[in-house]
Amino acid sequence: MNTSLRLYIVTTAAAASVMLAAAIVIWPLEPAIGGIGGLFYWCALTFVASALPVQLPKGLLVSVAFAPAAASLVLGGPAAAGIVAALGTFDLREL
């Protein structure tokens, strides 16, 4: 991996981390998500959805992890959606 690509990836990850931290500070969790337990539920549901893609008729694999992440945005606000997206979409190949 060349240096400019590495710098781009590090800068993007740092900016995303700063924005997630700002979202957590600015927008508290909405009560509709069910507190920390509800947040863990949506993280687990998103993790399972991202781990089990749907195969379309011509062999294309599509991830359906967007649906629970979007639901967490509606129920819990921007901070909840950021946390769910960050924790729920990890793949073991990425670690």
DSSP states along 10-75? HHHHHHHHHHHHHHHHHSPPPGGGTHHHHHHHHHHHHHHHHHSPEEPTTS-EE--THHHHHHHHHH
pTM reported for the whole predicted model: 0.81
Tens-binned pLDDT, residue by residue, of the chain (95 aa)? 799 999 999 999 999 999 999 999 999 999 999 999 999 999 999 999 988 888 999 889 888 989 999 999 999 999 999 999 988 887 666 66
